[in-house]
Amino acid sequence: MSLTPTIGRRTALAGAAALAGTRIARAQTPAEVKLAMLVPLSGPWARSGLLEQMGARMAVDDINNAGGIKALGGAKVKLLEFDAGESAEKAKDAAQRMVAQEPDLSGGFGCWLSTFTLAATEVTERAELPWLTLSYSDLITNRGFKYVFQCSPTADAQAKELVPIIMDLAQSAGGKRPTKVAIVGDNSASSVSFYKAIHEIVVPEQKLTLVTDEVFTPPLADATTIVQKLRSGKPDFVLMQSTNAGDDRMLVDKFYEFGLTAQKMAMIGGGGHWCQPELTKLTTKEHLEGVIVGLANWPGKAMQDVNKRFIERTKEPWFGHDSLFGYTHVMTYVAAIEHAKSADRHKVMESLHTMDVTDGPARFFPDGRIKFDEKGRRVGAKLCIVQWRDGVPVPVFPTNVATHAAVWPKA
Amino acid sequence: MRNGTAAKFRKDLIILLVLSVAYLALSWSVTNSYYQLILTLVPIWAAFGVSWNILSGYGGQLSFGHASFFGIGGYAVTLALAYWNLTPWLGIPFGMIVGGVAAVIIGTPTFRLRGHYFALSMLAYPLAILYFLQYFGFQEMSLAMHREAPAAYLEFSDPRFYTIVAVGLLIMAVLVCMLVENSRFGLALLAVRQNELAAEAAGIDSKTWKMRALIVSGMIAAAAGGLYACVQLVVTPDSVFGMLVSAQPVVLTLFGGVASLWGPVIGAAFLVPLSKFLDAYAGNVLPGIQGVVYGAAVIIIILAAPDGLYWTLRDRFFKKPAVLPIPVASKPPPVVTSSVSAGTPLMKVAGLSKSFGGLRAVSNVSFEIAEGEILGIIGPNGAGKTTLFNLLNGVLPANEGSATLAGESMLGKKVHQVCRMGVGRTFQVVRSFPRLPLIDNVIVGAYGAGLSDQDAADAAIHALHRTGLADIAGVEAGSLTNKQLRLMELARALAGRPRLLLLDETLAGLGREECDDILDVLKRLREEGMTIGIIEHTMHAMLRIADRFVVLDHGAVLASGPPRTVVEDRTVIEAYLGKKWLAKQDA
């Protein structure tokens, strides 16, 4: 009896030593590098999450087929997928589970919707796990966090940037600078901060007159009154800040019914959902024709090859905003790990902070550069503008990604 | 605390301590931070369930909008931290105060409604607050991270400490619930839940007790919401004011057992981990399936155990036969001294009228009840007998006339106020509290009269002795016979030490022998000097007991006087049996 514990302890010690040994060896040349993806795979935002997942999976296959991560002796990338669900609480729970069950992650990305990202990053920051996100809310990088990196221009920056671009597009395509603007949109978080910037900064700076200002609570039940007000206000363009494809559809359908097409009044939608493939199924391409969309990224000329392979692989009609971000996040991590020559999360964080590249994954952004500032925001992040043409969104701005020229209604 | 509940209180306290220690020991051994999060959330949701149970379980005021208080707690903590840098250690008590104030603001208009209307109105508050917060730009609030002195801001890098705080919160919530359950507070709530009118007639000021329950409940819910915000680190209107948040305590408590101390705790202990594990394991394989499995599990349990797990298990495995000893009062019964000497009128009714639209249900009724007599109020169906009682004890307002008890007006008072003047009342349909022992059913009446705990217990025991129920005092009311229930209701009225008893068809639905037993009790009461007004159909029983009759027909007094004279009165015979019968008798 008395011997058993001694032997037990000795065996345990030997085992621990062996484990420690493998751990050190592993840290030097990991067989695989684990990246986590936490996006909504169920609930109302599942479609966006699934599109991001498709992009991320393709990036992982691209890296592994090309020989893995070279600085780590060809270590393969392994993508661990987690469902953020349909609420901030679920997203936060999933993040907790992720950091608890996968202690050797090198980094992660998600959660598409700003609300979810805000919740999940409270966990990842405490676990000191690097986190890339496409979410727009400026709150995400306003908390003094060190491990969170926001790749999109923030919501308030987008508001300030979008209208001047639109004004320039209008002038070069239509010959006349717009003077009257309308706002139609819901009262969700990102929309509200967007309106604030429009009201306080953009309208006075651009010498615009706000003729219609219609805010609704999603989901939109009926757009008839909105159309009536637009018809009487006669704006040169309308900014549409809905946040889901159902409301987008309701707006364009009702506009079309009352003869308000994008050929008569320019329509500017905001956000990735305005370019999701479902929209063509929910409504018709005639209703969408000419609608302009401002969003954080879109595959441009440089990505024709990825674009083609993505469509072949997924049977989706195009490679868009959400999938592109999934793809880019994985590629950004790989670049950071190659640079750090380590998959250790702290080194990956430092590598992301010091990174300043204009090649590799930087090519996937319209402004062509990846450098994060102290807050973790991507320096010089630019908006992309796409326009619906014959049932497909095509990039029209900035010029380095544009495949088409913007069309503006003739006055 | 009430008399006779000390043993139960002690037992529950021991269970609470043992469970808490065991739970903390278990959670201390868990190092996985996700499992620890589940262990933290279980007591938080359980505390929220306990808070709901106080108002809706014990008090029966179904609330579908308890997220109001949970969310107020969550946002109070978050906003106080964001704007005043107030640590959640103080933010949570601050949130509790805000929750209590909100309870008064919400309760004042909403308690004007009853039943389904109350439940649905409660639903509106969290949804309205939700839009306010969105309007004011509080869509997404995160609790700022404190790198210096995190523990001072209720932030722990070791998640086990969150579990300790959460268990502390639950212990407090359960203790509050135990105090409520074992005091007149809990008994008043149970009485209100079973039958608000009967409770009022027993002297319970239902509106005040309901408001107190809402305040206590709102404060506990706010504390749970405040701690939830600290654990979740981010609050959004949907995560604390959403429909699912309001549904959570309802589901947990229905699952575990409504109006039982451990119900919400059992519910949370099963359902919170179940939903989290389904999210984690089923949801990752087939996103969305977790909701289906969870819903199915809840439906199956509620079908198999409709009263909740606690009651079903207790009824099946732990149901004890009544072994309570026959209670003995600590003091002899107080001598009922009347300021009015025997034979003088105790209650005077003059010109009392009540109309419902064009129908005069009670028309210019005048009569007196003398001290120590039994007055039989008889009349055919629809004569206005019960309406008369309802006017006298404040259920309905009278249009005209006066009614005084020993010179003091009985009109224009609330039901419980009339009761406190010394008017006891029973109802046509017996209202009992089936899960409570007989004695607790009776004590309600004593509390209604405003007696202290000891006096109430004594009064209840005396009342049981006077009605011959003392030897079954410990039996659950649910297992009593109809006659015993009638006597129980009589005892409840007696426990309030009334000067006048108004009995509404106490003999209805009883057999001859059972009738005799009750009549014996009534006779004994008269011998002890009790004054009784009794509505009855059965003439032969009334002839044996009543000193005087008042006959009502079409709302008006048809005849009054000694029984023999009244039954031979031609108008009375006509009203009861018709003109034909009268003609036959004459012939």
Please name the residue of chain A whose CA is at the shortest distance from the CA of residue B132.
Answer: A187
**Residues B446-456, mean pLDDT to the nearest whole number:** 83
The Cα–Cα gap between A147 and A107 comes to 9
Which two three-digit tokens encode residue A322?
């959400």
CATH H superfamily, domain A24-153+301-371: Response regulator (3.40.50.2300)
Q: Measured on CA atoms in the order B448, B452, B458, B461, is the torsion positive or negative? A: positive
Mark yes or no for CB contact A100/B33 under 8 Å: yes
**B 112-131 near A (Cβ less than 8 A):** 131
Domain identity same for B116 and B175 = yes
Q: Does B206 touch chain A (CB under 8 A)?
A: no
Summarised one tens digit per residue, pLDDT across range B135-187 is 787 878 888 888 888 999 999 989 999 999 999 999 999 999 999 998 889 88
Examine residue B328 and state whether it is found in any structural domain, yes or no. Answer: no
Q: Does A188 touch chain B (CB under 8 A)?
A: yes
The Cα–Cα gap between B566 and B553 comes to 13
Same fold, A24-153+301-371 and A156-295+384-397: yes
**What pTM was estimated for this model as a whole?**
0.81
Mark yes or no for CB contact A88/B238 under 8 Å: yes
Which two three-digit tokens encode residue A2?
């008395």
**Residues B298-307, mean pLDDT to the nearest whole number:** 83
The Cα–Cα gap between B239 and B140 comes to 10
Q: Does B71 touch chain A (CB under 8 A)?
A: no
Examine residue B336 and state whether it is found in any structural domain, yes or no. Answer: no
CA–CA min distance A147, chain B (Å):
13
Summarised one tens digit per residue, pLDDT across range A232-256 is 999 999 999 988 888 999 999 999 9
Please name the residue of chain B whose CA is at the shortest distance from the CA of residue A127.
Answer: B157
Q: Which chain A residues have a beta carbon less than 8 Å from that of B139? A: 115, 188-189, 192
Mark yes or no for CB contact B157/A85 under 8 Å: no
Examine residue B249 and state whether it is found in any structural domain, yes or no. Answer: no
Domain identity same for B394 and B452 = no
**Residues A256-267, mean pLDDT to the nearest whole number:** 91
**Residues B538-550, mean pLDDT to the nearest whole number:** 85
CB within 8 A of B25, min separation 6: which ones? none
User: What is the SS3 assignment for B377?
Assistant: strand
pLDDT band per the 50, 70, 90 thresholds, residue B328: low
Mark yes or no for CB contact B283/A42 under 8 Å: yes
pLDDT of residue B329: 60
pLDDT band per the 50, 70, 90 thresholds, residue B14: very high
Q: Does A80 touch chain B (CB under 8 A)?
A: no
pLDDT band per the 50, 70, 90 thresholds, residue B576: confident
Give the whole-number percent of chain B exceeding pLDDT 70.
95
Q: Does B132 touch chain A (CB under 8 A)?
A: no
Q: Does B145 touch chain A (CB under 8 A)?
A: yes
Q: Does B148 touch chain A (CB under 8 A)?
A: no
The Cα–Cα gap between B190 and B248 comes to 23
**Residues A387-396, mean pLDDT to the nearest whole number:** 93
Q: Residues A291, A292, A296, CA angle at the centre, nearest 5°?
A: 140
Domain identity same for B23 and B106 = yes
- Lowest mean pLDDT: which of A116-125, A196-205, B430-439, B465-474? B430-439
pLDDT of residue A2: 40
Q: Does A215 touch chain B (CB under 8 A)?
A: no
Mark yes or no for CB contact A93/B140 under 8 Å: no
Say whether pLDDT at B341 is over 70.
Answer: no
Give me the domain span that covers residue B441.
433-498
pLDDT of residue A1: 37
Instruction: Choose one of B468, B498, B528: the last residue of a domain.
Output: B498
Domain identity same for B364 and B437 = no
Mark yes or no for CB contact A100/B34 under 8 Å: yes
pLDDT band per the 50, 70, 90 thresholds, residue B381: confident
Examine residue B374 and state whether it is found in any structural domain, yes or no. Answer: yes
**Residues B374, B434 contacting (CB under 8 angstroms):** no
CB within 8 A of B352, min separation 6: which ones? B362, B364, B365, B366, B388, B391, B398, B400, B401, B402, B403
pLDDT of residue B66: 95
Q: Which chain A residues have a beta carbon less than 8 Å from that of B36? A: 100
Domain identity same for B93 and B233 = yes
pLDDT of residue B331: 60
Summarised one tens digit per residue, pLDDT across range B85-143 is 999 999 999 999 999 999 999 999 999 998 889 999 999 999 999 988 877 878 788 88
Domain count for chain B = 3
Residue A80 neighbours by CB distance under 10 Å: 15
Residue B404 neighbours by CB distance under 10 Å: 17
Which of A92, A143, A189 faces B145 most closely, judged by CB atoms?
A143
pLDDT of residue A294: 92
pLDDT of residue A345: 95
Say whether pLDDT at A10 is over 50.
Answer: no
- The single residue listed with the structure tokens 């109001």 is B68
Summarised one tens digit per residue, pLDDT across range A331-384 is 999 999 999 999 999 999 999 999 999 988 998 898 889 999 999 999 989 899
Mark yes or no for CB contact A217/B131 under 8 Å: yes
Summarised one tens digit per residue, pLDDT across range A215-230 is 887 788 889 999 999 9
DSSP of B158-185: STHHHHHHHHHHHHHHHHHHHHHHTSHH
pLDDT of residue A291: 95
**Residues B34-55, mean pLDDT to the nearest whole number:** 95
Say whether pLDDT at B289 is over 90.
Answer: no
Strands (E), B260-356: 345-356
| Prediction ipTM score | 0.75
Say whether pLDDT at B442 is over 70.
Answer: yes
Q: Does B538 touch chain A (CB under 8 A)?
A: no
Examine residue B161 and state whether it is found in any structural domain, yes or no. Answer: yes
Domain identity same for B192 and B158 = yes
Q: Which amino acid makes up residue A242?
A: S
Which two three-digit tokens encode residue B225?
């919401």
User: What is the SS3 assignment for B416?
Assistant: helix
Domain identity same for B554 and B569 = yes
- How many Cβ pairs closer than 8 A exist between chain A and B? 93
Query: How many angstroms separate the Cα of B43 from the Cα of each of A251, B9, B24, B163?
Result: 46, 21, 11, 8
Q: Give the 3-state DSSP-derived string for B59-80, with helices as H, strands as E and coil as C.
A: CCCCCCCCHHHHHHHHHHHHHH
The Cα–Cα gap between B391 and B377 comes to 14
pLDDT of residue B319: 66
pLDDT band per the 50, 70, 90 thresholds, residue B250: very high
Q: Does A101 touch chain B (CB under 8 A)?
A: yes
pLDDT of residue A30: 58
Mark yes or no for CB contact A137/B140 under 8 Å: yes
Give the whole-number percent of chain B exceeding pLDDT 90.
43
**Residues A251, A190 contacting (CB under 8 angstroms):** no
- Cross-strand bridge partners of residue B359: B356
The Cα–Cα gap between B200 and B418 comes to 9
Q: How many CA atoms lie within 13 A of A366 on its CB side?
A: 26
Which two three-digit tokens encode residue A39?
């996006």
Examine residue B11 and state whether it is found in any structural domain, yes or no. Answer: yes
Domain identity same for B134 and B156 = yes
Instruction: Choose one of B190, B217, B243: the last residue of a domain.
Output: B243
pLDDT band per the 50, 70, 90 thresholds, residue A16: very low
Examine residue B229 and state whether it is found in any structural domain, yes or no. Answer: yes
Domain identity same for B364 and B448 = no
Mark yes or no for CB contact A41/B287 under 8 Å: yes
**Residues B339-356, mean pLDDT to the nearest whole number:** 81
Which of A42, A85, A97 faces B34 most closely, judged by CB atoms?
A97
Domain definitions of chain A by residue range:
24-153+301-371, 156-295+384-397
CA–CA min distance A8, chain B (Å):
21
Query: What class has domain A156-295+384-397?
Result: alpha beta
Say whether pLDDT at A105 is over 90.
Answer: yes
pLDDT of residue B88: 96
pLDDT band per the 50, 70, 90 thresholds, residue B16: very high
Summarised one tens digit per residue, pLDDT across range B513-524 is 888 888 999 999
Say whether pLDDT at A8 is over 50.
Answer: no
Give CB contacts under 8 A, 24+ apart, made by B259-262. B259/B53, B259/B57, B259/B58, B259/B190, B259/B193, B259/B435, B260/B53, B260/B57, B260/B308, B260/B310, B260/B311, B261/B12, B261/B174, B261/B177, B261/B178, B261/B181, B262/B15, B262/B310
**Residues B287-293, mean pLDDT to the nearest whole number:** 77
Arithmetic mean of pLDDT over chain B = 88
Domain identity same for B94 and B196 = yes
Instruction: Choose one of B498, B526, B544: the last residue of a domain.
Output: B498
The Cα–Cα gap between A297 and A325 comes to 8
Domain identity same for B357 and B494 = no
